[in-house]
Structure 1
Amino acid sequence: MSMLRVASLLSVVVAVMLAGRAISAQDKYTVQVPDGLAFSEFRGYENWEIVSVSLAENVMAVILANPVMIEAYKSGIPGNGKPFPDGSKTAKIHWKLKKSTEAPASTSVPDVLHDVDFMVRDSKRFPNTNNWAYAQFNYDAAADAFSPEGTGSDCGAACHTLVTAKDYVFTAYQKK
């Protein structure tokens, strides 16, 4: 077999191997809650401004909001009694906790990603859930993949009725 043919064959083998890796790696933006929100509706959420952080049992979270919602917060919503405008979006990223092995004091830090939750206000699409829609995408570290939790965009609606007076939003914008 000639060197040219061997090199050509090797390049085909490498291309197939790389294609196999590309196929097996999940594109998170292709995941969608059945009959609900798609991950792709929140593209770029990683760069949104931080609203607040939270800690619940063994999971910590950072709550982010898109520019539409940040401007609404800064204008006094929901404390001024006005609703968030359509297009307001939040992302809540949860990580499991671990103890830092480097910090001089007892410090918990993010470990493995747990899930990512989303909210969007859209009065035309979601009038039956007080104009908000919800989605949760659980993360499987072993598979490096997300899977939707529940069915439909109303999965968080009942829980959020606890904060009706705050336009169904739990998280206040924190002073920075």
Structure 2
Amino acid sequence: MKRKSQLAIALAGALVAILGGTTLYGQGKSNNSRAKASEKYTLVSPSGIAFADFRGYEAWSIVSSARTKEVLKVIVANPAMIEAYRSGIPGNGKPFPDGSRIVKLQWKPKKSSEAPFDVDVPDVFTQAFVIEKDSKRFPGTGGWGYALFDYDVRSDTFSADPTGVADCGHACHVKVAAKDHIFHPYQMR
């Protein structure tokens, strides 16, 4: 239990540093890097979801975090979805409104070389898994559309994952249909 608490505290601190520092990091990038960063918003997934629909996700509020053996994840949501969470959705039985958007940011982990305890921290950014609520566009999947945008650190570029949604998508989210297909609750602050 103590290790889980330490990991949660360290991960929360790392997430604040990462998400809070995105603007500062972006200011220090070269013009070429900034141009590449804006190119991600021209991408469209095989499912028809445009990365541009998620413009500004870097500053969205954190919903939750998760950890697998391979990946550290931070889940952020747009203001419409955060407001829905705060109103009690999905616990009150209501669905998220159209226009709700959520992004799962994923990093490969590494052991911290600075912390005085054993903790994993984000290392290399790998993917942005995006989910968008639009009942008219996605009627067969509970109103949700799914896409995966991969990041290549060597070229500093994103690409739409050609397989559609390699790591999950609607097939995984059916398990939580009673919660409007969303796994992560809005965590206590």
TM-score by length of structure 2 reads 0.77
Pair 1:127 & 2:127 matched: no
Residue by residue over 1:31-79, the C-alpha shift from the partner in whole angstroms, topping out at 9 and shown as x without a partner, is 1112420111100011111000100112101100111111111111111
Structure 2 unmatched runs, 5+: 1-29
> Which ranges of structure 1 fall in alignment gaps of 5 or more residues?
1-17
Equivalent residue letter for 2:64: S
* CA contact 2:148–2:164 (8 Å) conserved in 1: no
Partner residue, 1:172: 185
SS in structure 1 at match of 2:176: helix
Q: CA RMSD in A?
A: 2.1
Letter in structure 1 aligned against 2:176: V
Is 1:60 matched up with 2:66? no
1:25 to 2:36 alignment: yes
Task: Give the whole-Å Cα distance in 2 for the aligned partners of 1:47 and 1:174.
Answer: 17
- Confirm or deny: 8 A CA contact 2:47 2:145 kept in the other structure: no
Change (3 A) 1:58 1:35: closer
Q: Relative to 1, partners in 2 of residues 1:106 and 1:35: Cα closer, same or farther, differing over 3 Å? A: closer
| Alignment partners' CA distance in 2, 1:151 and 1:110 | 25
Separation in structure 1 between the aligned mates of residue 48 and residue 148 of structure 2, nearest angstrom: 10
- Give the 4+ runs in structure 1 shifted more than 2 A: none
- The answer on 1:50 being equivalent to 2:62 is yes
Identity of aligned residues (%): 53
Decide whether the 8 Å contact of 1:36 with 1:151 is kept in 2: no
Q: Partners of 1:168 and 1:73 in 2: how far apart?
A: 13
> Is the helix fraction higher in 1 or 2?
2
Structure 2 counterpart of 1:160, which letter? Answer: H
2: CA distance between counterparts of 1:25 and 1:93?
Answer: 18
TM-score, structure 1 as length reference? 0.82
Structure 1 match to 2:26? none
Indicate yes or no: 2:92 matched with 1:92: no
* Residue correspondences, number: 156
C-alpha distance in 2, partners of 1:114/1:86?
28
